[in-house]
Amino acid sequence: MGSFHYGAKPIYPLKVPVFHHSLVTDDSDALKFKAASFLQLQQGIKYQEAASSNSYLITSPYNQEGHHLDLHTLEPSSQLLAKALTVLKPIRSDYATAEYVESFNWQLVMDVLRDLAAAEGYEWKEQSFHVVTFRSVLLPTADPGRLTELDSHSHEEATASGGLLKYWFGTKDEKLRNLATCIWRSREDARRGGLGPWHGKAIAAARELYQKIEFKTLKLVIADGVERWDIVDEKNAA
């Protein structure tokens, strides 16, 4: 099924809506570490017709207006991956320094993706997605309120620009280290998502907030039928 065009951006059909985000907690720790947004998915849930539903998915630790992904803006494959990524959470406490692939429950994400595709009758063909990791060490003097302000507004910008399937960030450890990550539909979406004024403010404020910042770009490759998957350094990807 194709898309409908209203204005500049295409609108895609949504085969299975999600439960309304107001039915899910807005506690950021539950969204970060308990995959609470997975509760929006309707597959296999009894009495689902009695609950309010729409196309807006919680894709970050922010369950507030302006932070939700409108699934109608995505083609079916990206809709399905965004839904599957609601189950993403860390599986080890040292995620700030551990290998990225080993830090999250990626295999469960792929299992859920395969099940969702089957339930919606979608034939998954191999494709890749753009991943960004952000490892940081905060300054002891960093203002938590300023950090939250910059991060929250930057996420709103990225969400509005389109193609951001998942944004996750952890909690700083005892050495002020942390990890954040974004999964984008494409590299171009990621480039466009970082052009807003709040991203500019965040970059300008980096020296007053961080001792160290390290960005890395990766490629998430998901094979036909979601039978295999890999996350590789984008520079080494074919």
Structure tokens at 17: 């809506």
Ramachandran angles phi, psi of 131, nearest 5°: -120, 135
Instruction: Answer yes or no: is pLDDT of 91 > 60.
Output: yes
Rounded CA separation 227/61 (Å) = 29
- 228-234 average pLDDT score: 95
User: Considering the chain, what is the average pLDDT of its residues?
Assistant: 93
pLDDT digits 0-9 by tens, 58-84: 999 999 999 999 999 999 999 999 999
pLDDT at 10: 84
* More confident call, 47 vs 25: 25
Phi, psi for 59 (deg, rounded to 5): -125, 15
227-236 in b/e form (b: 16+ CB < 10 A) is eebebeebee
- pLDDT tops 90 at residue 43: no
Selection from 168, 162, 151 nearest residue 202 by Cα: 151
Work out the average pLDDT over 30-56: 81
CATH code that applies to domain 8-233:
3.30.70.100
- The residue among 102, 168, 85 whose CA lies nearest residue 133 is 168
**pLDDT single digits (tens) 155-181:** 999 999 999 999 999 999 999 999 999
